[in-house]
Structure 1
């Protein structure tokens, strides 16, 4: 059977212009049309075409390069540089411009605040095209690793232990130097020991500076590579990174707002992220939904007070059922302000818990609990069972009852389909499991680029590249 073979020396007649390289239905034309209609000065990118000095690459072309690159998982400045030389779609998109990796990295670094606004511009386009309604919004978060190592994370305890170890090493080196001075003057090993002593001294100064910052600030730990990152647990492993928040519209699952916060959990993020999403859309939403990680009653009350329909289950509504006696098995008597346990014993108010913002109720005689047949299923404390009631317990009960209604359940089932889809695409398909830039401003810019990239992929799937370009031009 004959084989089809290639011939590198075969003469070819290439298109006469770069425009002819890409057919009208190629998705890259959608990215080009989107960035062309964005007001880059409104984003915050300074444009001075008449400035005196060496010419710079067109900032709009650089923005196209970043947005298109992130859409296909090409984020490294070196890989983007390589793409402008070898990939026809990149060559067409930039009009044949070939910036080097330093130029690309500098543009991304110098325009972090502007790049953070690109998703807002994309949300406005989606609203204009009718792809986003803004009536029902879903919130979720995911943890993304920082461009830093856990070994460079320092706590006050680690600093003190390291300083103690360094002091002992310095004392040992000084002792060895004194012995060498007395017996082997001019020996090369003496020079080496003094170099080692200098290194230990510099390390000690660095750790002392870190310790001073920890003692002066409110953080329990700091990373010397990326000081703005935080310690967080992801998939059972402790690391350093950021909490990436996303707000998604219900109609087509498009992201209308993204943010990066320095928090290890999603609690107290609900009202903030919904408010920012409403500002981006320029309109209030009717319904907001999230998982139990956002179930902070005090925070959810802010959205309720604005007349919003909040669908968020409490932690106790999603936990696995067990045989233990739970708080909901206790009956509350509002008139006498007390609880009655399943065995009929009274739990009366004994004080407040300021940290959890709740009232504490306990049995009068702990012996009643110890003699109860449900003792080990109810509590293991010899002081008897205690129950906490939030200051806003009535609000929490109202939110829990709303979650159990049939229409709320239907909305909550759509939550996973809408808000978790973008994270899956960005992490699994594009490999965005860690940030490249360091610092909060840098990771916010990357998160906005990634969210915009996801939206453009979705839009070209929904409308098709040609229809999207035509509707933008209309």
Structure 2
């Protein structure tokens, strides 16, 4: 027999316990074990007045933001609606059934004010990372570094040429942030190359087609990841330029050393981090093994001998060519040996013109020039070390482990829905990247740390 719901008058009173309606295995229950906002609350106290009407609890706003980033709710307006309707979200935000949800505009006012002035999202990220370290999920033995392109909140059709752009005509918050970062190596000073287009709404976003697709205005999120359990130990925004990504990697490594005492033995990365300067910084300044492919442009397409065909003698500081002759920095010997380094950070070794003229291999070595010249970087020793490491079994393992960083980027874009920024300017990108990395670490904690019985 077909049933029918009885039409009765609604009860005036209900007995309802919100705690009983949130499943024990719900993600927010598992995450809640690691969310302690007492420390961020103390850090925010100096930014609030001691008198006046009480504000909305900042802990409530932080918990709502964590819900949004953990579940890929990109709009704060929609986030307020979801928290209003979802029992689990209300439970995590410490809201009862009758408690009001803050208006979406409250987030914007606090983000551009107290939250940003106190660097709250950075401190929240470090607080969660400290918990990861306490739970034994960070070994500090091997790190991986990588960067991923994120579309900016800027219309690719509205770009204008740099000569047509002026800060006076586009005096927005994003513009002022852009002007503040012109001398920042991660943004304006990353390269002297002038971009093809500038976005009037977000001039710090870089016009780029680095992923071999359509060109868009983009930012880059840089992750430094402990390869043991894929915990993000640092995150930094930058322009989508190799030099800026290298600078961000150095900043993240040094900051992790200073604040958490983590000194990795090896670093895994792709070829973008294989420049001589980056390898030299890792090896000579911090003693980190570079499990990184060497960025090398010494190869030739005309079939002539490359630099790898010349053998370097460390004891005599000379190169030996395939024909058995030597290449020196100087044509004559000095009483006091000289070691001249050019302004571009290389040493130049030259063969004798008389040796090259009579050499039977000249057509395979230097067919159009009178003598061969070899450039050697001051960081060539670090490059040689990276070449040697690439022949080991440990390097193969590092190459496989480095995929954990790429998986985090895939999770960031496909699960957390952060394939396009919603906030503008370098500070907006920094806020979003820190919150997303915090959410990823919290989800990792919930997955790997068992519930105490």
Output the TM-score relative to the length of structure 1.
0.73
Q: CA deviation at 1:360?
A: 3.5
Q: CA deviation at 1:369?
A: 12
1:101 aligns with 2:104: yes
- Give the number of aligned pairs: 414
1:354 aligns with 2:317: no
Match of 1:136 among 142, 145, 150: 142
Q: CA deviation at 1:230?
A: 2.8
Structure 2 counterparts to residues 396-407 of structure 1, below 5 A: 396-407=383-394
Residue matched to 1:285:
264
Measured in 2, the distance between the counterparts of 1:146 and 1:369 equals 60
Name the CA shift for 1:33/1:462 in 2 (closer, same or farther; >3 Å).
Answer: closer
Measured in 2, the distance between the counterparts of 1:300 and 1:365 equals 34
Q: Does structure 1 retain, via aligned residues, the 8 Å contact 2:31–2:445? A: no
Name the CA shift for 1:348/1:248 in 2 (closer, same or farther; >3 Å).
Answer: same
Measured in 2, the distance between the counterparts of 1:384 and 1:157 equals 44
Q: CA deviation at 1:298?
A: 2.8
Q: Does structure 1 retain, via aligned residues, the 8 Å contact 2:232–2:441? A: yes
Residue matched to 1:198:
none
Match of 2:255 among 270, 276, 286: 276
Residue matched to 1:306:
286
1:421 aligns with 2:407: yes
1:148 aligns with 2:154: yes
SS at match of 2:82: helix
Name the CA shift for 1:59/1:207 in 2 (closer, same or farther; >3 Å).
Answer: closer
Residue matched to 1:206:
169
Q: Does structure 1 retain, via aligned residues, the 8 Å contact 2:31–2:446? A: no
Residue matched to 1:162:
none
Which is higher, the Rg of structure 1 or of structure 2? 1
Please list the CA deviations of residues 210-263 of structure 1 after superposition, one character each: whole Å capped at 9, or x if unmatched.
9xx899986634432113323333311433222211111122111111111235
Q: CA deviation at 1:127?
A: 1.1
Name the CA shift for 1:272/1:204 in 2 (closer, same or farther; >3 Å).
Answer: closer
1:259 aligns with 2:236: yes
Name the CA shift for 1:148/1:330 in 2 (closer, same or farther; >3 Å).
Answer: same
Match of 2:128 among 122, 144, 161: 122
C-alpha RMSD of matched pairs (Å): 4.1
Measured in 1, the distance between the counterparts of 2:254 and 2:7 equals 61
Name the CA shift for 1:230/1:384 in 2 (closer, same or farther; >3 Å).
Answer: farther
1:232 aligns with 2:208: yes
Measured in 1, the distance between the counterparts of 2:381 and 2:235 equals 32
Structure 2 stretches of 5 or more lacking a match? Answer: 331-339
Structure 1 stretches of 5 or more lacking a match? Answer: 160-202
Name the CA shift for 1:400/1:257 in 2 (closer, same or farther; >3 Å).
Answer: same
Match of 1:409 among 390, 396, 417: 396
SS at match of 1:70: helix
1:449 aligns with 2:413: no
Structure 2 counterparts to residues 10-409 of structure 1, below 5 A: 16-41=16-41, 43-44=43-44, 51-53=51-53, 55-94=54-93, 95-96=95-96, 97-110=100-113, 111-112=115-116, 113-157=119-163, 206=169, 220-221=194-195, 222-236=198-212, 237-265=214-242, 266-304=245-283, 305-316=285-296, 325-333=305-313, 338-342=318-322, 349=329, 354-355=343-344, 357-361=345-349, 375=364, 386-409=373-396
Q: CA deviation at 1:407?
A: 2.5
Q: CA deviation at 1:114?
A: 0.8
Name the CA shift for 1:153/1:384 in 2 (closer, same or farther; >3 Å).
Answer: farther
Name the CA shift for 1:398/1:8 in 2 (closer, same or farther; >3 Å).
Answer: farther
Q: Does structure 1 retain, via aligned residues, the 8 Å contact 2:357–2:370? A: no
SS at match of 2:433: helix
Q: Which has the higher helix share?
A: 1
Q: Does structure 1 retain, via aligned residues, the 8 Å contact 2:149–2:240? A: no
Q: CA deviation at 1:364?
A: 5.7
Measured in 2, the distance between the counterparts of 1:104 and 1:206 equals 28
Please list the CA deviations of residues 123-162 of structure 1 after superposition, one character each: whole Å capped at 9, or x if unmatched.
1011111122222221111121221234444444556xxx
Q: CA deviation at 1:8?
A: 10
SS at match of 2:25: coil
Please list the CA deviations of residues 267-298 of structure 1 after superposition, one character each: whole Å capped at 9, or x if unmatched.
34443221122234234333332222112333
Name the CA shift for 1:322/1:273 in 2 (closer, same or farther; >3 Å).
Answer: farther
Output the TM-score relative to the length of structure 2.
0.76
Please list the CA deviations of residues 380-422 of structure 1 after superposition, one character each: whole Å capped at 9, or x if unmatched.
9667765321022123212322332223432332122x22221
Residue matched to 1:439:
425
